[in-house]
Amino acid sequence: MVKVAFIGAGSVEFTRNVVTDLCSFPELQGQFELSLHDIDAERLGYADALAKRISAQLGADARVTSSLDRRTAVADADYVVNEIQVGGYRATRTDFDIPARYGLRQTIGDTIGIGGIFRGLRTIPVLTGIGDDLAEVAPDAYLLNYSNPMAMLPWAVTAGTAFSRVVGLCHSVRDTHRQLAELVGVPEDEIVFETAGFNHQAFVLRFERDGQDLYPRLREVVDGDPELQRRVRVELFRRFGYFPTESSEHSAEYVPWLMRRDQDIERFRIPVGEYLTRSEQNIEEFDETLATLQAEGALDLQPTSEMASEFIRAHVTGAPAGLYVNVMNDGLIDDLPAECCVEVPAIVDADGLHPQAVGALPPQLVALNRTFLNVVELTVKAVLEGDREHVYHAAMLDPNTAATLGLDDIRSMCDELLVAHGDLIPEALRLS
């Protein structure tokens, strides 16, 4: 029997989607155990009821277990799906509210930027704890990570624990490929894509049909659509020559030019504070799904081809699947450091994961990636080395923060956040 463990199983979106997919695969029915873990007993109870309802409704005959003890839940697992958000909505609110008082704007705040740095400080210790657990009780498992900041977490697990079978999964590349196909009016299955970089800052390097470059057609579409030109990722494409994989609201806060001026916020329709709205919607969705479960009504279950589900199916059945994954570089991208975590194409089959090397990035892209890498690397080092000065270094070198605030304000803001997050911050980094 295949054991799939979920850490942070009380998550509305990912648990429901991955479990629905797994229960929808005919070749896996009756062959797997869903082992659920969450630190919140109420949410764990919800996840247990949800997984059992999905299995029953789809006739999957899955065995569902749950535990508040993480090691118990992941012991002997074949796959561990991580979907935690350390500190939940309250911590996210703090990451937005304190910087806003300093005049620092954020949109999503989960990747780099001040929000990404402090989410990393909270989350890296938990992920390295998971890595330590897996090294002891499930050394052959794959840790399939959905949590952000994605570029930090697999790096921290690999560098900070004896466990290295960690794979980051994100929808952004897949969604971007679909969007580009729609923009140029070509069926997606007729297009050859090659995309690489960092998670949330990768670029479509190859965009072809039948050997013909489709970028000229995309430029024609963009040039003819003034409203399309009012999107951040389109502006980055126009300036750097390659289309970025992350949404405009994410991309706006990874660069120094767009978040500090009112006219740019208006011109590019940048939704400041967007993630707070999304978080509140997720809370509402949780309440709605819980009400349906309590009323014993039928769930609306639609397979979503979640990346974790596709990874598991390909590995179990041996039917190869092409995915984009976040793994240690180790020569996959020539002009980025070997030890960092990069996003590249890969094949998953019965023998496991096979990331594909892409060579060197165009110089302007790797230069932009290095500004992203600075923040990621310093945050990882802050936690693994217990060096609070690296928190300040990461903040000072963050593009959006540096473009908006002076050095004294950056340090004061970080100090406020360190105090406000309290015990969620690693002990060595706390202010006494």
The residues assigned a catalytic role are 171
Q: Are 116 and 253 in contact (CB under 8 A)?
A: no
**Treating both helix axes as pointing N-terminal to C-terminal, what angle do 88-101 and 274-294 enclose, rounded to 10 degrees?**
160
CA distance 342 to 199: 7
Q: In the numeric block, which tokens belong to residue 110?
A: 């989960």
CA distance 140 to 136: 10
If DSSP states are collapsed to H, E and C, what string results for 147-190?
CCCCCCHHHHHHHHCCCCCEEECCCHHHHHHHHHHHHHCCCHHH
Distance of CA 124 to the CA centre of its chain: 13
If DSSP states are collapsed to H, E and C, what string results for 245-276?
CCCHHHHHCCCCCCCCCHHHHHHCCCCCCHHH
Q: Which of 420, 431, 380 is nearest to 99 (CA)?
A: 420
Neighbours of 190 (CB within 10 A): 10
Q: Are 67 and 73 in contact (CB under 8 A)?
A: yes
